[in-house]
Chains A and B, each alone.
Chain A
């Protein structure tokens, strides 16, 4: 049984429809990438899974249980954590405090603040600085660390490479691979197609609110992906 099943969801912003019957499956331990152009609906999809948005029809199932319509904090407490687009570091909190917030889900597990500091040593150095005083790449590490602190079984990462230099992105993705090696299931939304194909076990491509392509990177050709990404 898949860990996460998204079944024909339709999501609206007011009268504007963003997702038109999207289907998605993630198996335990997998790394799944969602790619697509701006406005394709990638972030909408992630936010619907996380519980920030509620689908007008369709369902989201986590370990066989329906979670669509549950509030975001309940979804987090079930084991799905999100690294939101734009990092969304809490400005009033220090680095350490931002990480401690991650504990609010109340879940037990291997991740604690020391282990996160081991993963991202620069955070230990800056532990008592305000969270927003960090560079973009460091903030991204903080956001990932914060998500890890809730000991999730599934992490959703929304555009973690956005606005960052390639060398920083490479470091980040090395960390992501450490996380996946530890057994955590990861769903990433990425603009950087090459990076996604390197890192993912399977890939979904969204185009204007629908899944235009899915499969394993090794099975998909460049032309297929271009077509699915840009449409015709």
Chain B
């Protein structure tokens, strides 16, 4: 008696969405390429911040919203990424792009033993565990007073030889390429069969395992991928900021930003974090000192959204207007949708 049909949400929109998607893509890329020209250094800096935060949010979204691994310790990889960049570029003299990639690799390598331990924990205990991992790394760095200068932190010297405009342009270009690349990768992953498997794991790990999905491997893959991505972005962040200290790099505030952006924007969607990041930046303009009040406000809005609109702003938009820019959702249609052939 159940008439159900899995309808790829792009069905029926397929032609429209391809044109729409391409047009949007061209527009965005064009604007980004042109930004240094018509925006200047201030706009470039802001875009770097925007893109790094957006990428971090998309990665957290993949980890928590899609796979159900609620990490509150992503700052671990940001810190590792930042410090790895400085060590590789300054201490070993390798070029910046190498430094970026190795930053991601370093994070992923550390994420491996972390996962081995953390995956023994479930639910909230897993979350606190991720925080403990970040704390351990913070303490180790703070105690490395010779090599990493401990609590005093370090400054990236490798780019000091360049002219400021060149450095800023380089940072900008790298951020745009890497940021968009990671976001595209996340999107592709969510749309793939692996993405479907991840949602199955999130919804019920036992059921997914019973269906033959290799849950442990899938979870590990996503965890390592997100660590790599976050490490990479961490390196980008400190390529931009230049100065790193353990307390700032390994601060839980990074995770707080990621979480609030994703919740407010819309968990489990690609568009959600974009909206969330935009709102975040708008908020920052209004609350110029961006201190405690903005965090309280963000926190309160996030809590209220979880209570009354857990799908976030984009979720509300999607429901009311049945509209998607980056379709990743599969919908179970009732028999009335028979008209849409799948």
Residues of A within 8 A of B (CB): 15-17, 208
Closest B-chain residue to A18, C-beta based?
B1
Q: In whole angstroms, how far apart are the Cα atoms of A62 and B334 in the complex?
A: 35
As a 0/1 sequence over residues 1 to 15 of chain B, the CB contacts with chain A under 8 angstroms (1 = contact) are: 110000000000000
Docked-complex contact B1 and A15, CB < 8 angstroms: no
List, in ascending order, chain B residues with CB within 8 A of A208's CB: 1
* The 5 residue pairs across chains A and B that have the minimum distance between CB atoms: A16-B2, A15-B334, A208-B1, A15-B332, A17-B1
As a 0/1 sequence over residues 203 to 244 of chain B, the CB contacts with chain A under 8 angstroms (1 = contact) are: 000000000000000000000000000000000000000000
Closest A-chain residue to B2, C-beta based?
A16
Interface residues of B in 226-275 (CB under 8 A from A): none
Q: In whole angstroms, how far apart are the Cα atoms of A17 and B334 in the complex?
A: 12
Chain A nearest CB from B28 CB (Å) reads 37
Closest A-chain residue to B334, C-beta based?
A15
Please report whether the interface of chain B is mostly helix, strand, loop or mixed according to DSSP. loop
Closest B-chain residue to A20, C-beta based?
B1
List, in ascending order, chain A residues with CB within 8 A of B332's CB: 15
Q: In whole angstroms, how far apart are the Cα atoms of A83 and B332 in the complex?
A: 35
List, in ascending order, chain B residues with CB within 8 A of A16's CB: 2
Chain B nearest CB from A230 CB (Å) reads 16
Q: In whole angstroms, how far apart are the Cα atoms of A208 and B2 in the complex?
A: 12
| Contact count A vs B, C-beta below 8 Å | 5
Interface residues of B in 285-342 (CB under 8 A from A): 332, 334
List, in ascending order, chain A residues with CB within 8 A of B1's CB: 17, 208
Chain B nearest CB from A168 CB (Å) reads 32
Closest A-chain residue to B4, C-beta based?
A15
Residue with the highest number of chain A CB atoms closer than 10 Å, among B1, B2, B332, B334? B1
Closest B-chain residue to A16, C-beta based?
B2
Q: In whole angstroms, how far apart are the Cα atoms of A15 and B332 in the complex?
A: 10
List, in ascending order, chain A residues with CB within 8 A of B334's CB: 15
5 residue pairs of the A-B complex, CB under 8 angstroms, read A15-B332, A15-B334, A16-B2, A17-B1, A208-B1
Q: In whole angstroms, how far apart are the Cα atoms of A49 and B324 in the complex?
A: 42
Closest B-chain residue to A17, C-beta based?
B1
Interface residues of B in 53-104 (CB under 8 A from A): none
Q: In whole angstroms, how far apart are the Cα atoms of A17 and B2 in the complex?
A: 9
Q: In whole angstroms, how far apart are the Cα atoms of A188 and B229 in the complex?
A: 59
Residue with the highest number of chain B CB atoms closer than 10 Å, among A15, A17, A208? A15
Closest A-chain residue to B1, C-beta based?
A208
Q: In whole angstroms, how far apart are the Cα atoms of A167 and B106 in the complex?
A: 67
Closest B-chain residue to A14, C-beta based?
B332
Q: In whole angstroms, how far apart are the Cα atoms of A184 and B334 in the complex?
A: 44
Q: In whole angstroms, how far apart are the Cα atoms of A17 and B1 in the complex?
A: 9
Q: In whole angstroms, how far apart are the Cα atoms of A15 and B2 in the complex?
A: 9
Q: In whole angstroms, how far apart are the Cα atoms of A226 and B2 in the complex?
A: 25
Chain A nearest CB from B205 CB (Å) reads 21
Chain B nearest CB from A165 CB (Å) reads 30
Q: In whole angstroms, how far apart are the Cα atoms of A16 and B1 in the complex?
A: 9
Chain B nearest CB from A16 CB (Å) reads 6
Closest A-chain residue to B333, C-beta based?
A15
Closest B-chain residue to A15, C-beta based?
B334
Chain B nearest CB from A148 CB (Å) reads 35
Chain A nearest CB from B332 CB (Å) reads 8
Chain B nearest CB from A120 CB (Å) reads 35
Chain A nearest CB from B4 CB (Å) reads 8
Q: In whole angstroms, how far apart are the Cα atoms of A16 and B335 in the complex?
A: 11
Chain B nearest CB from A36 CB (Å) reads 15
List, in ascending order, chain B residues with CB within 8 A of A15's CB: 332, 334
Q: In whole angstroms, how far apart are the Cα atoms of A15 and B336 in the complex?
A: 13
Q: In whole angstroms, how far apart are the Cα atoms of A225 and B2 in the complex?
A: 26
List, in ascending order, chain B residues with CB within 8 A of A17's CB: 1
Q: In whole angstroms, how far apart are the Cα atoms of A170 and B315 in the complex?
A: 56
Chain A nearest CB from B2 CB (Å) reads 6
Chain A nearest CB from B19 CB (Å) reads 33
Closest B-chain residue to A208, C-beta based?
B1
Closest A-chain residue to B332, C-beta based?
A15
Chain B nearest CB from A93 CB (Å) reads 24
Q: In whole angstroms, how far apart are the Cα atoms of A165 and B1 in the complex?
A: 34
Chain B nearest CB from A15 CB (Å) reads 6
Closest B-chain residue to A209, C-beta based?
B1
Q: In whole angstroms, how far apart are the Cα atoms of A208 and B334 in the complex?
A: 19
Q: In whole angstroms, how far apart are the Cα atoms of A16 and B2 in the complex?
A: 7
Q: In whole angstroms, how far apart are the Cα atoms of A149 and B332 in the complex?
A: 45
Chain A nearest CB from B203 CB (Å) reads 14
As a 0/1 sequence over residues 123 to 143 of chain B, the CB contacts with chain A under 8 angstroms (1 = contact) are: 000000000000000000000
